[in-house]
Chains A and B, each alone.
Chain A
Amino acid sequence: MTEAHPGEWQRKDLLGIRDLSRREIEIILETAESFREVAERPIKKVPTLRGKTTVNLFFEASTRTSSSFEIAEKRMSADAINFSTSSSSLSKGESLLDTTRTLESMAPDVLVIRHNHPMVPHALAKRIASRVINAGDGAHEHPTQALLDALTIVQKKGSIEGLRVAIVGDIEHSRVVRSNVLLLRALGADVTVAGPRTLMPDEAESLGADVQYRMESAIEGADVIMMLRIQLERQGRTRLPSNDEYFQLFGLTRERVALAKDDVIIMHPGPLNRGVEIASDVADGGSSVILEQVTNGLAVRMAVLFLLCGVPAS
């Protein structure tokens, strides 16, 4: 990567990887790399966003993404306010637009939003002056997850160009897949997705990924294996015969890891279903970078907040 130049970042919102150029992705990753150091200081806080307000609006349950955003915001000295479905008028039948107007009257500088319908963040970004970050919209995109995954890969492998990446699991319901395939392809990786036919969307190939229905074919010779969570609470019961059978066919075991390159890294966006999509000894083994992903999530979110807040709000 070449070094970023001042003024290259012009974007007010981060809605999806699809909108980003390769250069913009690289700027976020370079900036995030610089932010990693803040977490190692005695005082893990910088005054950059002092006086700025961020609203984290989560219409879908989330612990790790919402707390990662909240910590990132607090480390940048922003005042962070959280709204989630369980604890606010979001569960009292208020319409999305009314909720948004209410929030906008509070004039936050940044709105972080997760919603179970695709494109809701995009619609909001058009209507309100605040900077908008998509923290997951339905099965559409989850850009900060793909960015933190990329940052982790770059740290471990030096570069993404030419790597073989296998993504295994519930491809259809995963926003993580969509954002990751777009990003990894943009940075020059070969991406293979694998999963049961019942969890493979028709348009999988149109994303630019090779599609496999046997896990072994996908992970053979891979540099990176990204396991997806089987969303037991969503569709698990109807599309899958049983957790055991899923583990037999698509669970990541030590034997299967041996098919990949010796220096393969194992990733998972969390939370883990041990014994369903990944064996415990693999999740905790030496090739696993799952906890680094969490650490990098903070750095990426700080970098995104920094870049967006450096651009005047509309």
Chain B
Amino acid sequence: MSAVVGLEVKSVLLDSDRMRRAIRRMAGEVVERNSGGRDVVLVGVVTRGVPLAEALAREIEQMEGHSPPLGQLDITLYRDDLSTIAPQPVVKASHVPGSIEDKILVLCDDVLFTGRTVRAALDALMDYGRPRAVELAVLVDRGHRELPIQADFVGERVRTRSSEVVRVAFEQTDGEEIVELLGVPAGGGSDT
């Protein structure tokens, strides 16, 4: 999502400090809701759900003294638009640690938008077993859902236009930590 052609930065939604504070608060909510988080497994959706899951795991370790197991999920094989999307997606390996039976899976992704990625991720997760519950953590909820899906833990809620793009950057994947709103240059006016 980086280097989005033809779009310019309209505003910085979260700088590095605010990003970390948001993630720390989300980690606290995960622990609080799941009684200490002993049964929690964090599963990041490839690509930028993975560094979010890792960041949450670090925060949980600081709070509770134990780090939840981490997994990652590539949902390409579960998309409903294989032959209609261009360009061709690149498939990365998925990895879910151990058995997920009776675990509480916290699915992590950078941005919640239409909900289609989450729908695909839920299908994918069920192929690994039957978790006790699946919860959803996203750094940014930008609205415009096309499916009845909502997040349990949200870093920042942002009102956007559907033509805009929310760019999330993590140190591991992008060499910086920032969340920006991108849009079509000039004439586009301010955020709604």
In the assembled complex, the CB of A38 is this many whole angstroms from the nearest CB of chain B, namely 8
Q: Which residue of B lies closest to A30 (CB)?
A: B90
A312 to B83, CA, bound (A): 6
**A106 close to chain B: CB less than 8 A:** no
Q: Which residue of B lies closest to A311 (CB)?
A: B88
Q: Name B78's contact: one of A31, A33, A48, A306 (CB within 8 Å).
A: A48
Q: Which residues of A contact B92 (CB under 8 A)?
A: 34
> Which chain A residues in 283-314 approach chain B with CB under 8 Å?
303, 306-307, 309-312
Q: Name B129's contact: one of A42, A307, A312 (CB within 8 Å).
A: A42
> Which chain B residues in 120-155 approach chain A with CB under 8 Å?
123-124, 126-129
Q: Hey, what's the 0/1 contact readout for B94-128 against A, CB within 8 Å counting as 1?
A: 11000000000000000000000000000110111
Q: Hey, what's the 0/1 contact readout for A39-61 against B, CB within 8 Å counting as 1?
A: 00111011111000000000000
> Is there an interface contact between B127 and A43, defined as CB atoms closer than 8 Å?
yes
**A154 close to chain B: CB less than 8 A:** no
A35 to B77, CA, bound (A): 10
**A7 close to chain B: CB less than 8 A:** yes
**B175 close to chain A: CB less than 8 A:** no
> Is there an interface contact between B87 and A6, defined as CB atoms closer than 8 Å?
yes
**B3 close to chain A: CB less than 8 A:** no
> Is there an interface contact between A7 and B123, defined as CB atoms closer than 8 Å?
no
Interface on chain B toward A: helix, strand, loop, or mixed SS?
Answer: loop
> Is there an interface contact between B93 and A8, defined as CB atoms closer than 8 Å?
no
> Which chain B residues in 44-90 approach chain A with CB under 8 Å?
74, 76-79, 82-83, 86-90
Q: Hey, what's the 0/1 contact readout for A198-228 against B, CB within 8 Å counting as 1?
A: 0000000000000000000000000000000
A6 to B2, CA, bound (A): 14
In the assembled complex, the CB of A303 is this many whole angstroms from the nearest CB of chain B, namely 8
Q: Which residues of A contact B89 (CB under 8 A)?
A: 6, 310
Interface centre among B78, B90, B92, by most A CB within 10 Å? B90
> Which chain A residues in 127-183 approach chain B with CB under 8 Å?
none
Q: Name A309's contact: one of B76, B82, B93, B123 (CB within 8 Å).
A: B82
Q: Which residues of A contact B124 (CB under 8 A)?
A: 46
Q: Which residues of A contact B76 (CB under 8 A)?
A: 48
> Is there an interface contact between A310 and B78, defined as CB atoms closer than 8 Å?
no
A287 to B93, CA, bound (A): 27
**B186 close to chain A: CB less than 8 A:** no
Q: How many residues of A contact B (CB 8 A)?
A: 31
Q: Which residue of B lies closest to A77 (CB)?
A: B77
In the assembled complex, the CB of A34 is this many whole angstroms from the nearest CB of chain B, namely 4
> Is there an interface contact between A48 and B82, defined as CB atoms closer than 8 Å?
yes
Q: Which residue of B lies closest to A43 (CB)?
A: B127
> Is there an interface contact between A31 and B91, defined as CB atoms closer than 8 Å?
yes
Q: Which residue of A lies closest to B89 (CB)?
A: A6
Q: Which residues of B contact A4 (CB under 8 A)?
A: 90
**A92 close to chain B: CB less than 8 A:** no
**A5 close to chain B: CB less than 8 A:** yes
A7 to B74, CA, bound (A): 17
Q: Which residues of B contact A31 (CB under 8 A)?
A: 90-91
> Is there an interface contact between A7 and B86, defined as CB atoms closer than 8 Å?
yes
**A36 close to chain B: CB less than 8 A:** yes
In the assembled complex, the CB of A183 is this many whole angstroms from the nearest CB of chain B, namely 21
A47 to B77, CA, bound (A): 7
Q: Name A48's contact: one of B77, B90, B94 (CB within 8 Å).
A: B77
In the assembled complex, the CB of A298 is this many whole angstroms from the nearest CB of chain B, namely 14
In the assembled complex, the CB of A44 is this many whole angstroms from the nearest CB of chain B, namely 9
A37 and B94 in contact, given A7-B86, A46-B78 (Cβ under 8 angstroms): yes
A6 and B90 in contact, given A42-B128, A42-B129 (Cβ under 8 angstroms): yes
Q: Which residue of A lies closest to B124 (CB)?
A: A46
> Is there an interface contact between A34 and B88, defined as CB atoms closer than 8 Å?
no
A306 to B129, CA, bound (A): 24
6 interchain residue pairs of minimum CB distance: A7-B87, A6-B87, A46-B77, A43-B127, A34-B91, A48-B77
Q: Show 8 A/B contacts (Cβ-Cβ < 8 Å), sorted by A.
A: A35-B91, A41-B128, A43-B126, A46-B77, A48-B76, A49-B82, A310-B89, A311-B83
